[in-house]
A and B are shown apart, each in its own frame.
Chain A
Amino acid sequence: GAVVSQHPSRVICKSGTSVKIECRSLDFQATTMFWYRQFPKQSLMLMATSNEGSKATYEQGVEKDKFLINHASLTLSTLTVTSAHPEDSSFYICSARAGLVGGRGEQFFGPGTRLTVL
């Protein structure tokens, strides 16, 4: 299957600082990338969908100004958590999807980034 990487895998930061998480598709071009948040023992919560070269579409209740998403190329999307607070501590996972030619639109997930805000 396709490989998606995330960096960093773990980050600890102080309250009020900003944190950037990178998501890369290593062996395919991702026309669409998704950012999820996962709390312990819970399922994935979609935060936003981003298409290369256009603004991200955020899910209801997700603050656009707090969670900045950039999808500047077909292989890279970044999520920046601005002015992080302890309640932002979570497991952030990205996924990437290739084009829909042929009808296969499955998402391939990165390994996740564990953010801890002190």
Chain B
Amino acid sequence: QKEVEQDPGPLSVPEGAIVSLNCTYSNSAFQYFMWYRQYSRKGPELLMYTYSSGNKEDGRFTAQVDKSSKYISLFIRDSQPSDSATYLCAMSAINFNKFYFGSGTKLNVKP
């Protein structure tokens, strides 16, 4: 079993839709949870960073962590064509020695 599972998609939505991206994990030691956005042939860009359970909002993006279910989500409101990219979840234990990445979900927002 992989440490982190993420649906690779692709996920195609119309402009303005609410997008939900998810990851599940198996290691209860994970405490820090991140979402990265990666455009084609570019390095990943940090979008959201959360510690332990709860919600965090930043503009159109909301990250949720449910440690009891080992499930994290990223919501994108009012999605735009410029949001079209691959979204990677990542997580680490408290020592940050290693990040564990999901396989990435490719999102396509159609104008």
Residues in chain B near residue A107, CB distance under 8 A:
46, 90, 99
Cβ distance B32 to chain A, nearest Cβ, rounded Å: 7
Residues in chain B near residue A103, CB distance under 8 A:
51
By the criterion CB–CB under 8 Å, are A106 and B46 in contact?
Answer: yes
Chain B interface residue count, Cβ-Cβ cutoff 8 angstroms: 24
Q: Which B residues between 72 and 111 are near A, CB-CB below 8 angstroms?
A: 88, 90, 92, 96-99, 101-104, 106
Task: Identify A44's interface contact among B32, B46, B88, B97, CB under 8 A.
Answer: B88
By the criterion CB–CB under 8 Å, are B46 and A49 in contact?
Answer: no
Bound form: Cα–Cα A95–B45 in Å: 10
By the criterion CB–CB under 8 Å, are A104 and B49 in contact?
Answer: yes
Cβ distance B8 to chain A, nearest Cβ, rounded Å: 8
Cβ distance B30 to chain A, nearest Cβ, rounded Å: 13
Answer yes or no: B60 CB below 8 A from chain A CBs: no
Residues in chain B near residue A42, CB distance under 8 A:
103-104
In the assembled complex, 6 residue pairs joining A and B whose CB atoms fall closer than 8 Å, in A order, are: A1-B46, A43-B104, A49-B97, A91-B41, A107-B90, A108-B46
